[in-house]
Structure 1
Amino acid sequence: MAIVGLGLMGGSLGLALKRDTICRQVVGLVRREDAVESALAAGIVDIATTDPAAALRQADIVFFATPVRTMLTQIKTFTPFYKPDAIITDMGSTKQDVVQVMNSLPLGLQPVGSHPMCGKEKSGMDVAEANLFENAPWIITPLDRTTPETIHTIQFLAEAIGSRVQILPADRHDQLVATISHLPHILAVTLVATALRVAEQDNTVWDVAATGFKDTSRVAAGSVDMWLDILLTNQTAVSQVLNIAQQQLSQIKAAISQGDEAVLRSILEAAAEQRRTMYQ
């Protein structure tokens, strides 16, 4: 197994695979020599290197855990280093662009998209943890050319480290995660950005911020580079769900402005009931 990129996701994958002794050997590909030393010291991989050929040439499975726009280039440029029948997969948060690039890989290679739905607002190897994937959804997005054996292999790995697997087409994946993952980040950013605007007139707003603001804004502290990658590789689906959110906000604003308690109650109760049902 080779993991390209040993940040939060790739590092956590390495730790989980090694904890459960799922692979004979886990090799990590990183950009910097100091990351080689850190990965080995943390027990994330068995071997770490900055050399793509050394990392990939013996790998039966290659996991790309770099930012989405980075992996779009890497998946293609690393082609000379893959074993002829290697499984090529990823951990990216958007899938249509990724599977499109995978589809251009030479025949014989076994590409399949995947996305573990977990993470933190912090990033980097130093916050990686072996139990990150436990009870988390892990979405597999097969290509038309993906073999059942390839799907089974990635499903086995995901379930072995505690994830719950769903198999979806790439376009449906991107539509769903735009709602359940990307929109929450945008709303958290919007909340903080709104408070910044208010603070221009009254800086005391930060002094009265309590647990509600802290909890709701938590994900806004996530990696800016990662979120630029996510939002700019899922533009259509994110734009569509933002239209729905804007309509919802407009309805709430109108109900408040008009003092329409019945409409406002209906919206609040429906949301509260759904949230309680999901997270009892």
Structure 2
Amino acid sequence: MARICLVGLGLIGGSLYTALAGHHDLIGVDLDPAVLKLAKERGMEATKDLKVGVEGADLVIVAVPLGKIPLVFKQLAPLIKPGTLVTDVGSVKGTIVRAAAPLFSEGTFVGGHPMAGTEQRGLSNADPKLFEGRTYVLTPTSDAERKAGERVQELLAPLNARFVEMEPAAHDLAVAYTSHMPFLMATSVARIAQGATKDVPDLPLVAAAGFRDTTRLAMSNPTLGADICMANREALLHAIAAMRYQLSQFEIMLQNEITVGLEGLFAGVGKWREDLKL
């Protein structure tokens, strides 16, 4: 049984804690008194003192919002003893890996990203089954980090996640298309509908399953969403350009009444999406 410190007890940190409970010796670190109170009510060991949390840890998982991760790294680095591993759960890896490089000795840190977020937030929504069957990306950039990643996988085996390795840049481009762009599109669809209510006040009455499913991500944490978009803006701009082109193709087909083109596109993309078996 290893000692694992979870820095940040929000949705992801709290879910990691509950999923690993009974498998490892755990402690959470959070500065929010309300979060600490809730954690202790749920029988979780928790403290606001980072030094106390890190003491004796075999693995430290930084699960704070993306924009705060570099600062936590700086606070954490002097406290890390030889043999302790550090990872994070940030959804953008390039900036995080670069922030960690000068602070931790070789083979101490390996970037991580569990692909298991929801529009929910906070410890109150922690789910021990959140990671089951989900992809958990690790982004080692050296053989030493790859070895650290193997140990992280061993320690996190109780999550029942599917671990994969990716280069940080490849990860960031991939999630720009599969995670961050969907967030922007969900927000855009909801924003357009919100504006349309000026002309069609009854619009919410016909907002059913399609609208609900398409716009679910628009209810995500706005601060986290903004941090993610800015941190991954270069890759996200590529995705936006691709979306702009695709919308222009829809516009051309509609203007010219190219029904066959629309049907063919819908069929081909629908088959590809079905084959993903998500």
TM class by shorter chain equals over 0.9
Q: Secondary structure at the match of 1:207?
A: helix
Q: Secondary structure at the match of 1:114?
A: strand
Partners in 2 of 1:251 and 1:181 — Cα distance? 23
- Number of aligned positions between the proteins: 275
1:53 aligns with 2:51: yes
Partners in 2 of 1:157 and 1:264 — Cα distance? 48
Shift of 1:109: 6.1
Shift of 1:146: 3.4
Q: Deviations over 1:29-62 (max 9, x none)?
A: 101233222112224x3x2111111111221111
Partners in 1 of 2:20 and 2:249 — Cα distance? 47
Q: TM-score, normalised by structure 2?
A: 0.95
1:40 aligns with 2:43: no
Q: Secondary structure at the match of 2:144?
A: coil
Superposition RMSD in Å? 1.5
| Amino acid in structure 1 at the alignment position of 2:82 | P
8 Å contact kept, 2:14–2:123: yes
- 1:15 corresponding residue in structure 2: 18
Q: Secondary structure at the match of 2:202?
A: helix
Q: Deviations over 1:106-127 (max 9, x none)?
A: 4266000000001211100000
1:157 aligns with 2:155: yes
Q: Deviations over 1:209-262 (max 9, x none)?
A: 111111111111111011111111101000001100110111011101110112
Q: Deviations over 1:166-216 (max 9, x none)?
A: 100100000001111111111100100110121122211111111111111
8 Å contact kept, 1:188–1:217: yes
Partners in 2 of 1:207 and 1:106 — Cα distance? 54
Partners in 2 of 1:16 and 1:226 — Cα distance? 23
| Amino acid in structure 2 at the alignment position of 1:268 | F
Identity fraction in percent: 28
Shift of 1:161: 1.0
Determine which of 169, 188, 193 is the counterpart of 1:190: 188
| Amino acid in structure 2 at the alignment position of 1:22 | H
| Amino acid in structure 2 at the alignment position of 1:37 | K
| Amino acid in structure 2 at the alignment position of 1:227 | G
Q: Secondary structure at the match of 1:174?
A: helix
Partners in 1 of 2:187 and 2:131 — Cα distance? 25
Determine which of 177, 180, 189 is the counterpart of 1:179: 177
- 1:219 corresponding residue in structure 2: 217
Give unpaired runs (5+ residues) of structure 1: none
8 Å contact kept, 1:4–1:10: yes
Q: Deviations over 1:63-106 (max 9, x none)?
A: 00011110111111221222233111001111001111111124
| Amino acid in structure 1 at the alignment position of 2:18 | L
Partners in 1 of 2:216 and 2:194 — Cα distance? 15
| Amino acid in structure 1 at the alignment position of 2:9 | L
Give unpaired runs (5+ residues) of structure 2: none
Q: Which moved more, 1:126-135 or 1:253-262?
A: 253-262
Partners in 1 of 2:277 and 2:147 — Cα distance? 34
8 Å contact kept, 2:89–2:114: yes
8 Å contact kept, 1:85–1:108: no
Partners in 1 of 2:54 and 2:199 — Cα distance? 55
- 1:4 corresponding residue in structure 2: 7
